[in-house]
Structure 1
Amino acid sequence: MASGSDMDDSSSSKLHVIILSSPGAGHLIPVLVLANRLAAKYGVRSTVLQVTTAMSPETNLVNLPIDKELVETIRLPPVDISNLVGPDTKVVTQLCLMMREAVPLVRSAVTAMDRRPDALFVDLFGSESLHIADEFNMPKYLYCTSTAWFLALSVYCPILDEKIEDQYVDEPEHLKIPGCKPVRPEDVVDPMLDRGDQQYREYLRMGMEFTLCDGILVNTCEDWEAKTLQAFRENESMKSVLKSPVYPIGPLTRQVEPTGLKSEFRDWLDKQPNQSVLFVSFGSGGVLSAEQTRELAWGLELSQQRFLWVIRPPTKHGVDDAFFTANGGAEDDYLPKGFIERTKNIGILVPKWAQQVEILAHPSVGGFLFHCGWNSTLESITSGVPMIAWPLYAEQRLNATMLVEELGVAVRPEVLPTKKVVGWEEIEKMVRTLMAHKDGQAMRDRAKQLKTRATNGLISEAGSANKSICKILSNIEAKHK
């Protein structure tokens, strides 16, 4: 199988794959990053099918440069699930319903193509479209935009469902997955928190459908999850559940924009000492309570460490100019009175959104307090930045445990932030540990080591990520012939 620079002269340069993306920026970004990778290094053409809704404005904010010659993005007509959901319908259920309603749209898009594509890739919520590949006699692959550990839990959950009768969170012992690190009951993914909810049934279905693929791409690194990836290859109990090969292809992340940071961020960051700034951001869905926001503010202030905080006011409040002034009335609602004025020399507040990749790559940034989303995790490690893990939802508790206990590049609160408010004393201690203590420097050194090894896996012809993608493309090419 040709790879790298000689790929253009091989028949693989003619390969055309479809990649299906769920709604939401967090799902679309890793799909576009994969499409760009396939184009830039392997000459593969991709058509990204983006499932949309009438209420998904955050997707429009994705301004990720793509290879316009080899990557095409098609926004499918919006799906409407308003008659299928209620006020208590969980996020995973909503996403599954959206992707289910989109199946005919995906089929129509494939049918309308001049030439049958050579393979179909779907993201985690797109597994119900896998059978479309069978209809068109195409190989089918799952793109897992999370960890191999999350994948192991997902495909093994139907077995756990048979073995365990009560709620997983009430189990006295860790949940055992063959060949993998056991899962603490409190770390299970959101759909496993309530076995009586529809999203749990959807999650079980997804786990079973994942096993029907010709292969599974995981946006992780061989070096980071060697034990779990070995379990997929060698553990007989795991192999009896998942017969499909698992390919570590990461870490694939957004690249730093050549245009750089907005001047208001760059000018401030440029004035700060090297590795002295803590970047604080909880992603597009990370909104803290008013009480927790105040505690976080106190902890940041009393730590006396520099910070750049992307702040989203509690849900009941709107963002207005008054919030970002020293004497604005909104400040008193969820920030300590006078906080902005007192911290103006060491901190900067940013409303709602900032250029995360560019900020993490800036030399003055030395730590990241965040929600443990996997996209953000990859961006932090590949910038060599250690973390304060603050998991909020989805599989983020798993990610936090992996960062702290397996990779050794993060600290976290003693009690999950979703269970109780984290006090300012503990926040101050975590910030000081990460930014001003020898333990924080050790984590920073470790993050840089992980970055170097991961980069080698991507750019080296013998690297695990490169070998994985070459194997996938060889299999698709063989089927194509």
Structure 2
Amino acid sequence: MDDAVVMFPSPAIGHFISMVELGKLILTFQPSLSIHILIVSAPYSAGSTASYVADVAATTPSISFHRLPTITLPSSTNTHYETLIFEVLSLSNPHVHQALLSISKTHKIKTFIMDFFCFFSLSIASQLNIPGYFFFTSGAGCLAASMYFPTLHQTTTKSFKDMNTFLNLPGIPPISSSNFSSAVSDRKNKAYEYFLDMAYCFPKSAGVIVNTFAVLEARALKAISDGLCIPDSTTPPVYCTGPLIVTNNQTDGDTECLNWLESQPSQSVIFLCFGSLGLFSMEQLREIASGLERSGQRFLWVVRNPPSDSESLDISALPEPDLNSLLPDGFLDRTKEKGLVVKSWAPQVAVLNHKSVGGFVTHCGWNSVLEAVSAGVPMVAWPLYAEQKFNRLMLVEEMKIALPMKEDENGFVTGLEVEKRVNELMQSDSGKSVRERTIAMKNAATAALSEGGSSRVAMSRLVESWKH
């Protein structure tokens, strides 16, 4: 029987694409493998993966996709999106078991790689004597904090939201209790329990694969390898194999913004884009607009419709934004010589790699961070959800490749703050320092993926271990 690797990504689009890219990378090291990817339908829509899946299936025949039966959640289910994903993945466990049994009839499954959200399935891999690995789609700093989570849990009975203090965790800068994801800020939240259960599973795995590279997060990785993050158990091997970035399908017929960039001076444009779930109120959009206009900087800004008032988490159901009604009167006309506003989507990797782009205002999603680092583009960090406040801490305090956007206690950012940070990044000495540091990390990322580089060596070692 042929050897196979089975992969189980979270349905969140960023998690899903990163894992498929990992599968493609594995094939470059061992082309004889077949890769089988299990697909779970998301409990909400945050962008379709259909065209991406079709492209991969057409261009990489060694990768096949297996769609698991759709899970219907009870109507009373919590609408917190992390909780929804955990519950769908938990209920999918019998289908995962069946899929592994089915694939094993025709293939020898060498390993089972699951997104850390899919930790429920580690027990199935153990039952079937298949080595189970976690794929961690955020950085090593976030992994260090996740591994240390049970220790934090045992040292206090307070919720993070009630602490109002700084915490010292191994391998990362002191972190404010308010910088933890909202999903774990309240001990009574079901998501808190899920993340805690997930953290307890790390020592039971055969290893953790992380989408990062050694130079970017050296201190966090040392804390993990020294056993400081899991003091009461065994730390699994950690393999840094990044940066994994999708580069195909980056224009998708939308060349307006790339054509516009062609006419702009080198490194003169600030790019603003906030991910698949990054939605702002009309009031916040207008503050961003006023800050950009007052800054006088050239800009390319991706604008999406504000969230609807309904309880729906179906982001794809939002209509195209009406820019004239959302943005200040006359804004588009007054800024047309220096700025371009595009609706809903832009080819982010292609934009970041364009010579005219000199800065990136980002929500700090980890894939976006790696895309900016790989392009050598410095950032202004404006976190919105998930672990993004934590990522801002790492980008600003540890890696020093971003400036922080400062929000009020309600998460609102004024136009004055937008103006200040954009100008600081593009014109000041601190912006220059961040730019130089980012370019150094770009070179380190290139080296990590080159022959003999740290990420290639780690990937080679991992794939080699499956041959025995």
The structure 2 residue matched to 1:392, chosen from 384, 389, 414, is 384
Are the structure 2 counterparts of residues 124 and 271 from structure 1 closer, same or farther at C-alpha, using a change threshold of 3 Å? same
The structure 1 residue matched to 2:93, chosen from 99, 103, 111, is 103
CA contact (8 A) 1:233 1:239 kept: no
Q: How many Å separate the matches in 1 of 2:60 and 2:248?
A: 18
Q: How many Å separate the matches in 2 of 1:84 and 1:215?
A: 36
| Residue equivalent to 1:343 | 335
Q: How many Å separate the matches in 1 of 2:234 and 2:297?
A: 47
Correspondences of 1:49-448 after superposition (within 5 Å): 49-53=38-42, 55-56=44-45, 58-60=47-49, 63=52, 65-66=55-56, 67-83=59-75, 85-86=77-78, 89-113=79-103, 114-235=106-227, 238-255=230-247, 257=249, 262-316=254-308, 319-320=319-320, 323-324=322-323, 328=324, 331=325, 334-415=326-407, 419-448=410-439
Q: How many Å separate the matches in 2 of 1:352 and 1:258?
A: 15
Cα deviations by residue, 1:45-104 (Å, 9 ceiling, x for unpaired): 311111114753723355264352322222222211134504xx3111111001011111
Cα deviations by residue, 1:359-416 (Å, 9 ceiling, x for unpaired): 1111111111111000111011101111110001110001011111111111112346
Q: How many Å separate the matches in 1 of 2:444 and 2:297?
A: 30
CA contact (8 A) 1:256 1:357 kept: no
CA contact (8 A) 1:46 1:72 kept: yes
Alpha-carbon offset, residue 165 of structure 1: 1.8
Gaps of 5+ in 1: 1-10
**Secondary structure at the counterpart of residue 256 of structure 2:** helix
Are the structure 2 counterparts of residues 131 and 237 from structure 1 closer, same or farther at C-alpha, using a change threshold of 3 Å? closer
Q: How many Å separate the matches in 2 of 1:467 and 1:246?
A: 13
CA contact (8 A) 2:250 2:348 kept: no
Are the structure 2 counterparts of residues 400 and 251 from structure 1 closer, same or farther at C-alpha, using a change threshold of 3 Å? same
CA contact (8 A) 1:257 1:358 kept: no
Alpha-carbon offset, residue 139 of structure 1: 0.8
Alpha-carbon offset, residue 224 of structure 1: 1.1
| Residue equivalent to 1:3 | none
Are the structure 2 counterparts of residues 442 and 218 from structure 1 closer, same or farther at C-alpha, using a change threshold of 3 Å? same
**Secondary structure at the counterpart of residue 287 of structure 1:** coil
| Residue equivalent to 1:4 | none
Cα deviations by residue, 1:291-322 (Å, 9 ceiling, x for unpaired): 2111111001111111111101212395457x
Q: How many Å separate the matches in 2 of 1:55 and 1:227?
A: 36
Counterpart amino acid of residue 122 in structure 1: M
TM-score w.r.t. length of structure 2: 0.91
Alpha-carbon offset, residue 180 of structure 1: 4.0
Bigger shift: residues 106-115 or 435-444: 435-444
Q: How many Å separate the matches in 1 of 2:230 and 2:286?
A: 45
Please say if 1:28 is aligned against 2:16. Answer: yes
Bigger shift: residues 227-236 or 145-154: 227-236
Are the structure 2 counterparts of residues 293 and 57 from structure 1 closer, same or farther at C-alpha, using a change threshold of 3 Å? closer
**Secondary structure at the counterpart of residue 190 of structure 1:** coil
Alpha-carbon offset, residue 276 of structure 1: 0.9
CA contact (8 A) 2:115 2:136 kept: yes
Alpha-carbon offset, residue 260 of structure 1: 8.0
Alpha-carbon offset, residue 25 of structure 1: 1.1
**Secondary structure at the counterpart of residue 257 of structure 2:** helix
Please say if 1:473 is aligned against 2:463. Answer: yes
Please say if 1:45 is aligned against 2:37. Answer: no
TM-score w.r.t. length of structure 1: 0.89
Q: Percent identity?
A: 34
Alpha-carbon offset, residue 20 of structure 1: 0.3
Q: How many Å separate the matches in 1 of 2:395 and 2:302?
A: 22
Counterpart amino acid of residue 451 in structure 1: K
Bigger shift: residues 279-288 or 128-137: 128-137
Counterpart amino acid of residue 23 in structure 1: P
Gaps of 5+ in 2: 310-317
CA contact (8 A) 1:291 1:421 kept: no
Are the structure 2 counterparts of residues 84 and 460 from structure 1 closer, same or farther at C-alpha, using a change threshold of 3 Å? farther
Aligned length: 454
Q: How many Å separate the matches in 2 of 1:54 and 1:224?
A: 34
Alpha-carbon offset, residue 22 of structure 1: 1.3
Question: What RMSD over aligned residues (CA atoms) do the two structures have, in Å?
Answer: 2.2
